Structure 1
Amino acid sequence: MPATDHLVRRLRGTVLPAVLTPMDAGGVVDVDALRGYAERVAAGPIGGVAVWAHTGRGLYLREADRLRVLETWRAAVDGPLVAGAGVPRSVRATGLRAAVDATVAMAVQAAEGGADAVMVYPLAQLDGDDEAAVALHEEVAAASGLPVLGFLLHGEAGGYPYSPQLVTRLLALPASAGIKLATLDRAVACQDAIRAAHPGRKLVITGEDRMFGPSLMWGADTALVGIAAARVPLTSAVLDAWRAEDHGGFVRASARLDAFAAATFRAPIEGYVQRMLWAAAWEGLIPEEVAHDPYGPRLPSSEREAVVTCLEVLAQHADGP
């Protein structure tokens, strides 16, 4: 598929932030704050953006808010826009067919809204059924007309382990542009998936916020990560140094990113969205009053202080982005 090949060429070696959704404590999306955030992120060193992902609470948003998010980012970003597609929390999918239908419907909405690709959320009903998983990706591609990305997501965020065999099969699909790996802390699972992806053919996309540098060393060639939702230059510096074979710069940039990841991607893991919102507010990307995640766990004020302290230390000892 020419569109798929073109997308692979455009995205390889770039960072796509899995962007946040500015909202108040009641879950009301602030459109003006969203527009300003989109303009600021779009001005950074990005290859595109990912909307409706876990970081932006895509499956939790009301349909009207999801469409507004997509519209806003489409207007702000010239590069490719990847949209997550899964089962919205508002949809009661009691069986596999209903879950597949909901995922396909979300993918079609993404296509109609101007997305360039769809990242397919794993469905819990498919755990252990590789045939059905492959069929899901085929159906999403056929209905939306867009290239698809697989999504190996860790269990803490609602995913399940994809076998290496499934990774290989998904990337063999004509409409497949690549696969995003977000195993959290499963180094062996990440390595096995990268090996099964046969790097160089399709995109091997790291979503490994806590293993970002190592995942590049193992063979990932592109990034789609929540950690870039607030710190794009900090993230892109690692990928750029690796691709330039600047090993000294890579080690330094990785150490800085790892420090930020340790402050934001920690137990409870679902709290990372709130921590990233705090970071985005500290960076001036969004106003404080819309830096809320009503769908995650409540975190004590000490958590915010830890995030801010990390950012202040990084700013004081900056030797690069």
Structure 2
Amino acid sequence: MTEQVVDISGELLRRLRGTVLPAVLTPMDERGTVDLGVLRAYAAKLDAAPVGGFAVWAHTGRGLYLSAADRAHVLRTWRAATDKPLVVGAGVPRDLAPATASVEQAEAAVETMAVTAAELGADAVMVYPLHALAALPDGHARAVRLHERVARASGLPVLGFFLHGEAGGYEYPPALVRDLLALPGALGLKLATLDRAMACQDAIRTAQATDRLVVTGEDRMFGPSLMWGADTALVGIAAARAELTTAVLDAWRAADHTAFVRASARLDRFAEATFYSPIEGYVQRMHWAAVWEGLLPEAAAHDPFGPPLPQGERDRVVSCLEELAREGAA
């Protein structure tokens, strides 16, 4: 494995800053079989949207749950479908059983996944946080070293990932955010704090002191996170409703506050219909939205890795989409 020092050029930062990156879905049947034909069609449709790139192997696409072969097929399909940047998730695959793996095994798995992503055409990697590091006396230093190792091993810029604890994340304190973004290979920080407004604000304030990307993944605090200083977005909602997200970000960057308030209110209503307990159910809710949007067929719109959801939850998603569509046509 060839290691190299990664330094961030301005080109990738310029291409991504101020844009939306959908955390894309992976079309699957009820048994978890990936439909590559549907994926190609889905990728072509999303590539036509006004987005800056795509997040592949992210949580919305169940990247850590897929087999290594399926992950490779998925990333190759996206690389063939678009010239836009691909930010690819690198974490501990679920078949390694994170609960029983040692920290060293987990770190090695992240590094291996990042190297594979680079070989398959990724432009950057997003490192899933290792929850176990938060409890270690040297967890802070190990987290920094892990990001540095991933950048060196893969040769790619690295996006840090502040992920809320309910999803198995590590809630990076400001000091760790500062040290991660000081790495030569740091592209920026992606925030998914869920409902922790203070933690989100603190992390954004720290990240703003750098020239790296401040990436919001706050589907339920999207508008506020932009007002707090986030400059780019990587969100699950955009996997099915890209325009809801781009409208908010575009209005904010244009300082069109009337349009921003309207667009933010529309996105908030959809987020309320899709991001709620059980939070893991949001992936299936996004699949339902993608079916309604005509992005996926019914047969390939399943999340076998999430909790079972009652029909009423699908009705809630569809009702919201229909209401938003009526308003848009008025």
CA distance in 2, matches of 1:265, 1:236: 18
CA distance in 2, matches of 1:319, 1:168: 45
CA distance in 2, matches of 1:282, 1:302: 15
What is the correspondence of 1:106-255 to structure 2 with a 5 Å cutoff? Answer: 106-128=113-135, 129-198=139-208, 201-255=211-265
Alpha-carbon displacement from aligned partner over 1:185-219 (angstroms, at most 9, x marks no partner) = 10000000001112561000000000000000000
Check conservation: 1:151, 1:180, Cα contact below 8 A: yes
Shift of 1:5: 2.6
Q: Does 1:279 align with 2:289?
A: yes
Alpha-carbon displacement from aligned partner over 1:266-314 (angstroms, at most 9, x marks no partner) = 1110000000000001000010111100000000000000000000000
User: What's 2:13 paired with?
Assistant: 8
SS of residue matched to 1:127: helix
- TM-score norm. by structure 1 comes to 0.98
Identity %: 68
Q: Kindly tell me: are residues 2 and 248 of structure 1, through their superposed partners in 2, closer, same or farther at Cα, counting changes over 3 Å?
A: same
Alpha-carbon displacement from aligned partner over 1:114-160 (angstroms, at most 9, x marks no partner) = 00000000012211411000000000000000000000001121112
Check conservation: 1:4, 1:176, Cα contact below 8 A: no
User: What's 2:3 paired with?
Assistant: none
CA distance in 2, matches of 1:35, 1:155: 33
Which 5+ residue runs of structure 1 have no aligned equivalent?
none
Shift of 1:3: 4.5
- Aligned partner of 2:106: which letter? A
- TM-score norm. by structure 2 comes to 0.95
Shift of 1:66: 0.3
Shift of 1:83: 0.3
Q: Does 1:104 align with 2:111?
A: yes
Check conservation: 2:187, 2:212, Cα contact below 8 A: yes
Alpha-carbon displacement from aligned partner over 1:238-271 (angstroms, at most 9, x marks no partner) = 0000000000000000000000000000111000
CA distance in 1, matches of 2:17, 2:170: 26
- Aligned partner of 2:116: which letter? Q
Q: Kindly tell me: are residues 134 and 147 of structure 1, through their superposed partners in 2, closer, same or farther at Cα, counting changes over 3 Å?
A: same
Shift of 1:78: 1.1
CA distance in 2, matches of 1:136, 1:16: 24
User: What's 2:22 paired with?
Assistant: 17
- Aligned partner of 2:28: which letter? M
Task: Give the alignment's Cα RMSD to 1 decimal.
Answer: 1.2
Check conservation: 2:7, 2:157, Cα contact below 8 A: no
Give structure 1 regions of 4+ aligned residues with deviation exceeding 6 angstroms: none
